[in-house]
Chains A and B, each alone.
Chain A
Amino acid sequence: MDVGIVSYGSYVPRYRITPAEIGRIWGIDGTAMGKGLFINMKSVPSPDEDVITIATEAARNMMSRCSVDPQEIGAIYVGSESHPYAVKPSGTIVAEAICATPNLTVADLEFACKAGTAGIQICMGLVGSKMIEYGVAIGADTSQGAPGDALEYSASAGGAAYLIGSKDIIAKINRTLSYTTDTPDFWRREGSPYPKHGGRFTGEPAYFKHIGSAARMMLSEMNTEPSDYNYAVFHQPNGKFPMRMAKELGFSDEQVNDGLLTPHIGNTYSGAVPLGLAAVLDVSKPGDRIFAVAYGSGAGSDAFDITVTDNMKKYKRSAAPTVAERLKDTIHLDYGRYAKFKGKIVMG
């Protein structure tokens, strides 16, 4: 039985701030910082947005593009590292908001930036074993960087939702595999508002080792070359890492460009690969082959080999805004308004 993507939806908040504006406040050359990270601007959630509202918007967009009855959804997994509640699932609210309750299983997932793709894998298993008809996997975050920290220039917000099933799939997931080790490159303790990172530890032994290993395993198992794929999407904490990773593996800039959103919206953490993949699906056509590798600190990588099917021709892609449409029509914030939005001003 073929298992794959039946529908998908994306969401990015409308507000933006530039590295130059953040640097202006902290006495740092933000423009140079942005160039170094390859981030031109980042998305900022409105004060009334959080992972639950972002996940809901993405899921509603996903449902509006297909005719699946929400009552046929058997599972919803919301992957994030910024769930609004420590205890109380985000997924139940999303389930209610898309009218999928009560006959389904729901759980929130956390694996730094790859909890969304972990949700896709879980749904694939449940659909493949015929335990459920359809499963929903969502990756979404409203990540915070401590004021003045390097992460403040990249940490942003957004998410994407995937309806996984076996009927009328617009993209077949040919294979998925993961590479996982215990690597303390980035973490956030319960109760602390901002994450910490292991500095230099985040590059070579973390991001590059895990994505590189998962990617090479996939190429070897599928007996493919990078040139066999039309598109490649890699986790994108900044714009630089995925470009370098692609080059090391033998993928070209052209293969990576459509799924590289960090320059326009920053690092959406759990939303990053789900959104990058959504941007690729937005422009893909039947027969296109997509290579996608997510990365979550802590650490692990989930790789996917995907082929777009003929069903993409009749798929109602225009029933919801594409990622590219979300990147137009933005509202820019100065740091003062940004600080107010992010709750960085303590009200007396």
Chain B
Amino acid sequence: MSVARHWRETPGRYNLIGVKCGNCGKVFFPKRTLCPECRRSSMGKMNAYKLKAEGTVFTYSIIHDAPAENNSIKPYAVAMILTDDDVLITGQLVDVELEKVEIGMPVRAVLRKMSEDGETGVINYGYKFAPKN
């Protein structure tokens, strides 16, 4: 992914900033320009909304066959997290032994390295989820 695209997505990646439809109140993450329910009536009313950084594991999967850049961390768990404001987000689970991962486990969003563009390129940071302690 390009440096510019990562940079444009920084508010979402660092701080879970999505949007809330000013018409029906539904929250979307990642952000989108129109509410799929309200369509035209949501125009200009999609306001920035910071998601709750805490939630629970809704479902998860253990990744054994990972893309090359994740070789050093596999196997690892990827989960759908239901945030405390009822939004589903997908993210990697960290700081947990895989056999202890379970549905309903309370987690919180943490900032971690997502990828590095080689030894000399930019380091991309974003949210992952760690057990809440």
A and B form one complex: yes
Which residues of chain A come closer than 8 Å to B94, judged between CB atoms? 46, 48
B contact residues, range: 10 to 19
Known: A84-B123, A97-B15. A49 touches B10 (CB 8 A): no
Q: Are A93 and B110 in contact (CB under 8 A)?
A: no
Q: Are B133 and A47 in contact (CB under 8 A)?
A: no
Please measure, in the bound complex, the distance between the C-alpha atom of A96 and the C-alpha atom of B15, giving whole angstroms. 8
Is A347's CB within 8 Å of the partner chain B?
yes
Query: When the two chains form the complex, which single residue of A13, A15, A99, A331 contacts B15, counting CB atoms closer than 8 Å?
Result: A99
Which residues of chain B come closer than 8 Å to A56, judged between CB atoms? 111
Map CB proximity to A onto B93-133 as digits: 1 under 8 Å, 0 otherwise.
01101000000000000111110000000010100101001
Query: When the two chains form the complex, which single residue of B71, B112, B114 contacts A347, counting CB atoms closer than 8 Å?
Result: B71
Q: Are A46 and B95 in contact (CB under 8 A)?
A: yes
Is B14's CB within 8 Å of the partner chain A?
yes
Q: Are A93 and B125 in contact (CB under 8 A)?
A: yes
CB-CB nearest in chain B for A50: B113
Please measure, in the bound complex, the distance between the C-alpha atom of A57 and the C-alpha atom of B125, giving whole angstroms. 13
Is B72's CB within 8 Å of the partner chain A?
yes
Query: When the two chains form the complex, which single residue of B15, B71, B113 contacts A48, counting CB atoms closer than 8 Å?
Result: B113
Is B38's CB within 8 Å of the partner chain A?
no
Is B24's CB within 8 Å of the partner chain A?
no
Is A190's CB within 8 Å of the partner chain B?
no
Which residues of chain B come closer than 8 Å to A340, judged between CB atoms? 72
For chain A, the count of residues having a C-beta within 8 Å of the partner chain is 26
Q: Are B125 and A325 in contact (CB under 8 A)?
A: no
Is A343's CB within 8 Å of the partner chain B?
yes
Q: Are A53 and B111 in contact (CB under 8 A)?
A: yes
Query: When the two chains form the complex, which single residue of A47, A52, A57, A321 contacts B73, counting CB atoms closer than 8 Å?
Result: A47
Query: When the two chains form the complex, which single residue of A13, A47, A57, A321 contacts B72, counting CB atoms closer than 8 Å?
Result: A47
Q: Are B113 and A53 in contact (CB under 8 A)?
A: yes
Please measure, in the bound complex, the distance between the C-alpha atom of A315 and the C-alpha atom of B113, giving whole angstroms. 32
Q: Are A14 and B72 in contact (CB under 8 A)?
A: no
Query: When the two chains form the complex, which single residue of A47, A53, A84, A96 contacts B110, counting CB atoms closer than 8 Å?
Result: A53
Please measure, in the bound complex, the distance between the C-alpha atom of A60 and the C-alpha atom of B130, giving whole angstroms. 15
Q: Are B112 and A46 in contact (CB under 8 A)?
A: yes
Query: Which residues of B are interface residues toward A (Cβ below 8 A)?
Result: 10, 14-15, 71-73, 94-95, 97, 110-114, 123, 125, 128, 130, 133
| A-B interface, 6 closest residue pairs, ranked by CB to CB distance from nearest | A48-B112, A48-B113, A14-B95, A56-B111, A97-B14, A53-B111
User: What are 7 contact pairs spanning A and B, CB under 8 A?
Assistant: A14-B130, A47-B113, A48-B112, A53-B113, A97-B15, A97-B111, A331-B95
Q: A46-B112, A48-B113, A50-B113 are in contact. List 13 more A-B contacts (CB 8 A).
A: A15-B95, A46-B94, A47-B73, A48-B73, A53-B110, A53-B125, A93-B14, A96-B15, A97-B14, A329-B133, A331-B97, A343-B72, A347-B71
